[in-house]
Amino acid sequence: MPATADPAVSPVRVEHHRVPLGIGEAGPRLSWTPSHTQTAYELHVSGGDTTLTTGRVDSADSVLVPWPAPELPSRARRAVRVRVWDEHGRASAWSEPTVLETGLIGDPRTEWEARMISPAPELTHPADPSDGAPAAYLRGVLTLDPARRVSAARLRATARGLMTLSLNGEPVGDEALHPGWTTYRHRLRYRTWDVTDAVRGGANTLLVHLADGWYRGFVGFGGRREVYGADTAALVQLEVDYEDGSRLVAGTDGSWHSAASPVTRADIQKGQTLDVRRVLSPDEIDWLPVTERGFDPATLVAPTGPPVRATRTLAAQRILTSPSGATLVDFGQNLVGRLRVRVPRAAAGTRLSFRHAEVLEHGELGTRPLRAATQWDELVLAGPDADPRTWEPEFTFHGFRYVRVDGWPGELGPEDLEAVVLHTDMRRLGEFACSDPLLDRLHENVVWGMRGNFVDLPTDCPQRDERLGWTGDLQVFAPTAAFLYDTAGMLRGWLADLAHDQSDSGGVVPPFVPFAELDDKLPPLGAEAGWGDAATVVPWTVYERSGDAGILHTQWDSMTAWVDAFAARAGERLDFASGGFSFGDWLDSAAPDDQPWAARVPWQLVATGYLARSARILARAGEVLSDRDPRFAKRAEDYRALAERAAARFRDEYVTATGRAAFPAQTAYAMALVFDLLLPEQRQHAGDLLAEQVAKDDYRIGTGFLGTPLVCDALADTGHAATAWRLLLQRECPSWLYAVTMGATTVWERWNSMLPDGSVNPGEMTSFNHYALGAIADYLHRRVAGLAPAAPGYRRLRVAPLPTRELEWARAAHQTPYGRAEAGWTREGDEVTVTVTVPAGTRAEVHLPGGEEPLDVGPGEHAFRSRLPEEVVAARPPAFA
Ligand code: RAM
């Protein structure tokens, strides 16, 4: 940053919101990004009857700074600006104002006038109980006094089910799959829209289109629907402020009407049918009464993160004819979303059918892995000129790369279909690139896997009859996710769900969140190592990556309840002796296809390691929180003692005095090293034995979900980066690059979801879009390129790249809360140049690969000459490279 440029500052960000409209925080924290190192700031808040400035505050803080004004009531609108001073005492100009507005944060029983209403029950009976049920319409007319001028109008809405909304014939908002899936009994998310320009004096017509979604449709495995309730329902409230200061609040109630929808089946797993012949004009519609539903408005919550949206479209790449003669469309990318179809001109009654799948098997659509999720959409035409001219089913989503099209009149062209990509519309933060095209593609596959599985909630997979918020999957993937996208807002919401679900079961975190009893065959809830630890690891990761210590405070009770329940399962001696089923190092590459739990290491080993890890996180979280309240310090000590006991227990049971693992396997060593469970004198030997183990395993990965993210770190930490490189660049199965060589465009659930001969793994659980094994991308960011946080929110960076002779360069960039950071290296021969960009107000510790003394550098761009580490130079080049 040239010192001569005047300091400048970004607009203020509000909590983790992208658009702070209808927020739930009465005292939202504020962040901004100064261009220069900040020594002081001033905040200015105006709106309502408030105008307030903090005056100049001597502080370098710019991330999640406490709200500087009195707590906000409902519907408060404020403009917030900031200016900053740099190290030379120069002030920036005031930032552009950010306007924030609260939602309904007072007593929900008085703030919500609207009632939850359901369509007439006969409208939503499924024709076939094993398929989706029809959607329905709800319609109401709200009358505004035409004599008064409107100054502002807001619409707030939510549903038991999925909804779209229109006001006076115009669609409201661009969200998809609203209101998503939360633990409905405790939390039902509403959104707020500014509809000032859409309302008019006199009658205003609101139309809700309502479908089953997660609330009433098929959820998870086991073929269950109506998991939350037998009736869909919606709640819509319109609030109009007139210029004379009066306010009208009206919404859904018994005066509304319901009607049949032309969407004759709609389900997340099964797909959707639109029968255009049933599209009627309002005067042809047979309006039926609605039913008011009892409902606790205290469950209504404002969103903490962005909504699901269509973020891009992909064109069809190829149209093929399969061996059996079917027409197949290939989008070239396994993705999550749905089709947008250019509706052909054809006779009424023509049926177009679209079946979606991730892979082809023997040239045909590979639908077996979908199990009971048919992912089948259908459009029934009403004649050549009938509207609509394009169609996108709004109440479903599919995981697919291929679509089988039946019934298309004439020849299908690539321009007739596009794929609409849906996911939670988080801000993209991180990038990685390197000179190896396969590794680059692996990273791209991880990004696609994240897109496809961050669809309102973080799921394991987006395609088969599962799509659940499996806690273990997120637990391992959270660091990668937090680097790639701004996950803090979305995960805050999901962690609130986790805490509720957990309190329903005495602190035990259910294996997926939101939890639902899906299958009578499921074992009773038990403390599940590596899965339940999402309760500690996810908030800790959010804290580490975003600097949000508040999340530790909010989640503290959930975090401690989990560790207490987990320790209780371990028993007095922490020996996890009671047995029973556990996922363990799930999907170990050595586990038989039909026994994903049968890993090389016993689950008790994994559980003891995780107990130490989670208890240690609590010890550290307690220390962070002791700044606010000294009582946390005592709690921190207790959890530190528990962590040390668990680590000692791990050593006693699973490690010899010299550091040899009792179960010689990659996961055993990697966990011992990365979770810091060993004595200092055992570490190097354990690292050497891990490298030996990897060599014995023929430089192939030998871990499941839990061990996978740890192995390369453990190797690099003990001077075996070259071995980590051989694992990373391995192409034979099992390895990360094996799937890439098989043409994968997303990360798979199993190391061998597709077998080398192109057939699909025979196991009944085979997804081609699972993010868990993609957790290795965190290593690519932190270690390969060398961009890691050394302090929460990257207020300090640790740059310690790991170059190799196999690559010419690698780099990563991340939009930290303080600004853009970058790290990377280029290599010529054995000479390496390390480049670093350090954001204003932060510093970096740089560990050069040649073993030089670490450097401490300030903001700006830096380049350092170094060389390959001895160990990498000495290493034998991999035979397969
Ligand atoms: C399967 C999936 C999921 C995993 C659970 C334990 O349903 O592989 O990702 O978390 O098992």
What is the Å distance from ligand 1's center to 520 Cα? 17
387, burial (CB in 10 Å: exposed 0-12, middle 13-18, buried 19+): exposed
The arithmetic mean of pLDDT across residues 489-502, rounded, is 98
Minimum-distance ligand 1 atom for the alpha carbon of 512: 10
- Which residues fall within 8 angstroms of residue 646, CB to CB, at 6 or more apart? 570, 574, 608, 609, 611, 612, 615
Question: Model confidence at 4, in pLDDT bands (50, 70, 90)?
Answer: low
Task: Tell me which residue has its CA closest to atom 8 in ligand 1.
Answer: 749
Ligand 1 neighbourhood includes 583 CB (under 6 angstroms) = yes
What is the Å distance from ligand 1's center to 363 Cα? 28
Task: Output the pLDDT for position 1.
Answer: 44
Secondary structure (3-state) at 124: helix
Is the predicted pLDDT of residue 356 greater than 80, yes or no? yes
Ligand 1 neighbourhood includes 544 CB (under 6 angstroms) = no
Strand locations in 501-653, DSSP E? Answer: none
Is the predicted pLDDT of residue 94 greater than 70, yes or no? yes
Task: Output the pLDDT for position 578.
Answer: 64
Give the separation between CA 553 and CA 295, rounded to whole angstroms: 30
For residue 16, give the H/E element and its range. none
The radius of gyration of the chain's CA atoms, rounded to the nearest angstrom, is: 28
**How would you label 475-498 residue by residue, b for 16+ Cβ within 10 Å and e otherwise?**
bbbbbbbbbbbbbbbbbbbbbbbb
Average pLDDT, the chain: 96
Contact indicator for 240, 199 with CB cutoff of 8 Å: yes
What is the Å distance from ligand 1's center to 222 Cα? 14
Minimum-distance ligand 1 atom for the alpha carbon of 749: 8
Task: Output the pLDDT for position 222.
Answer: 87
pLDDT digits (tens, 9 = 90+) for 536-552: 999 999 999 999 999 99
Ligand 1 neighbourhood includes 473 CB (under 6 angstroms) = yes
Q: In what order do the strands lie in the sheet with 855-857?
A: 788-789, 796-799, 843-846, 855-857
The arithmetic mean of pLDDT across residues 584-602, rounded, is 95
Q: Which residue has the tokens 């400035």?
A: 53
Question: Among 560, 567, 504, which Cα is nearest to 536's?
Answer: 560
Q: How many residues does the chain have?
A: 881
Give the separation between CA 63 and CA 12, rounded to whole angstroms: 10
pLDDT digits (tens, 9 = 90+) for 509-546: 999 999 998 877 676 788 999 999 999 999 999 999 99
Secondary structure (3-state) at 811: strand
Minimum-distance ligand 1 atom for the alpha carbon of 460: 9
The arithmetic mean of pLDDT across residues 774-797, rounded, is 98
Task: Output the pLDDT for position 577.
Answer: 75
Ligand 1 neighbourhood includes 528 CB (under 6 angstroms) = no
For 423, phi then psi, to 5°, come to -165, 170
**Amino acid in position 641:** A
Contact indicator for 715, 691 with CB cutoff of 8 Å: yes
Is the predicted pLDDT of residue 580 greater than 80, yes or no? no
Ligand 1 neighbourhood includes 25 CB (under 6 angstroms) = no
Minimum-distance ligand 1 atom for the alpha carbon of 770: 9
Ligand 1 neighbourhood includes 354 CB (under 6 angstroms) = no
DSSP 8-state assignment for residue 869: -
pLDDT digits (tens, 9 = 90+) for 643-687: 999 999 999 999 999 999 999 999 999 999 999 999 999 999 999
Task: Tell me which residue has its CA closest to atom 2 in ligand 1.
Answer: 460
pLDDT digits (tens, 9 = 90+) for 392-443: 999 999 999 999 999 999 999 999 999 999 999 999 999 999 999 999 999 9
Is the predicted pLDDT of residue 579 greater than 70, yes or no? no
Ligand 1 neighbourhood includes 465 CB (under 6 angstroms) = no
Task: Output the pLDDT for position 878.
Answer: 56
Sign of torsion, CA 376 382 383 384?
A: negative
Minimum-distance ligand 1 atom for the alpha carbon of 583: 6
Secondary structure (3-state) at 435: coil
The arithmetic mean of pLDDT across residues 787-813, rounded, is 98
What tokens appear for 142 in the block? 């709200």
Ligand 1 neighbourhood includes 585 CB (under 6 angstroms) = no
Of the residues 457, 463, 466, which should be mutated to test ligand 1's pocket, given the most ligand atoms within 8 Å of the CB?
A: 466
Question: Among 662, 660, 665, 659, which Cα is nearest to 683's?
Answer: 659
The arithmetic mean of pLDDT across residues 78-84, rounded, is 98
Encode 528-558 in three state secondary structure. CCCCCCHHHHHHHHHHHHHCCCHHHHHHHHH
Give 207-236 as a DSSP string: EEEEE-HHHHS--SSSS---SS-S--EEEE
Task: Tell me which residue has its CA closest to atom 5 in ligand 1.
Answer: 470
Strand partners, 665: none
For residue 701, give the H/E element and its range. none
What is the Å distance from ligand 1's center to 593 Cα? 13
Task: Output the pLDDT for position 881.
Answer: 39
Contact indicator for 433, 811 with CB cutoff of 8 Å: yes
Longest Cα pair distance anywhere in the chain, in angstroms?
A: 86
Give the separation between CA 561 and CA 582, rounded to whole angstroms: 20
Task: Tell me which residue has its CA closest to atom 10 in ligand 1.
Answer: 470
The arithmetic mean of pLDDT across residues 146-161, rounded, is 97
Using omega within 30 degrees of 0 as the cis cutoff, is the peptide bond preceding 388 cis?
Answer: yes
Q: Which residue has the tokens 């390129």?
A: 785
Ligand 1 neighbourhood includes 717 CB (under 6 angstroms) = no
For 734, phi then psi, to 5°, come to -90, 135
The arithmetic mean of pLDDT across residues 478-487, rounded, is 98
Share of the chain above pLDDT 90, in %: 94
Contact indicator for 628, 621 with CB cutoff of 8 Å: no
Q: Residue 193: count other Cβ atoms within 10 Å of its Cβ.
A: 19
What is the Å distance from ligand 1's center to 473 Cα? 7
Ligand 1 neighbourhood includes 466 CB (under 6 angstroms) = yes
Question: Model confidence at 97, in pLDDT bands (50, 70, 90)?
Answer: very high
Question: Among 134, 133, 130, which Cα is nearest to 372's?
Answer: 130
Of the residues 586, 746, 752, 770, which should be mutated to test ligand 1's pocket, given the most ligand atoms within 8 Å of the CB?
A: 586
Of the residues 459, 468, 470, which should be mutated to test ligand 1's pocket, given the most ligand atoms within 8 Å of the CB?
A: 470
- Which residues fall within 8 angstroms of residue 631, CB to CB, at 6 or more apart? none
Give the separation between CA 778 and CA 478, rounded to whole angstroms: 9
Is the predicted pLDDT of residue 283 greater than 90, yes or no? no
Ligand 1 neighbourhood includes 470 CB (under 6 angstroms) = yes
- Which residues fall within 8 angstroms of residue 502, CB to CB, at 6 or more apart? 508, 509, 510, 535, 558, 561, 562
Give the separation between CA 469 and CA 615, rounded to whole angstroms: 23
pLDDT digits (tens, 9 = 90+) for 9-39: 999 999 999 999 999 999 999 999 999 999 9
Ligand 1 neighbourhood includes 472 CB (under 6 angstroms) = yes
The arithmetic mean of pLDDT across residues 800-813, rounded, is 97
What tokens appear for 734 in the block? 């099992």
Lowest mean pLDDT among 281-290, 623-632, 647-656: 281-290
Task: Output the pLDDT for position 50.
Answer: 86
Ligand 1 neighbourhood includes 221 CB (under 6 angstroms) = no
Is the predicted pLDDT of residue 2 greater than 50, yes or no? no
Task: Output the pLDDT for position 872.
Answer: 84
Ligand 1 neighbourhood includes 809 CB (under 6 angstroms) = no
Q: Where are the alpha helices (DSSP H) in 168-278?
A: 213-216
Question: Among 586, 596, 475, which Cα is nearest to 538's?
Answer: 475
For the chain, list the domains and their CATH numbers. Answer: 13-102 (2.60.40.10), 108-305 (2.60.120.260), 658-730 (no CATH), 794-874 (2.60.420.10)
- Which residues fall within 8 angstroms of residue 434, CB to CB, at 6 or more apart? 440, 443, 780, 784, 785, 807, 809, 810, 811
Give the separation between CA 825 and CA 810, rounded to whole angstroms: 6
Ligand 1 neighbourhood includes 659 CB (under 6 angstroms) = no
**How would you label 522-554 residue by residue, b for 16+ Cβ within 10 Å and e otherwise?**
eeebbbbbbbbbbbbbbbbbbbbbbbbbbbbbb
Minimum-distance ligand 1 atom for the alpha carbon of 461: 9
Is the predicted pLDDT of residue 759 greater than 80, yes or no? yes
Of the residues 370, 457, 460, 515, which should be mutated to test ligand 1's pocket, given the most ligand atoms within 8 Å of the CB?
A: 460
Contact indicator for 722, 868 with CB cutoff of 8 Å: no
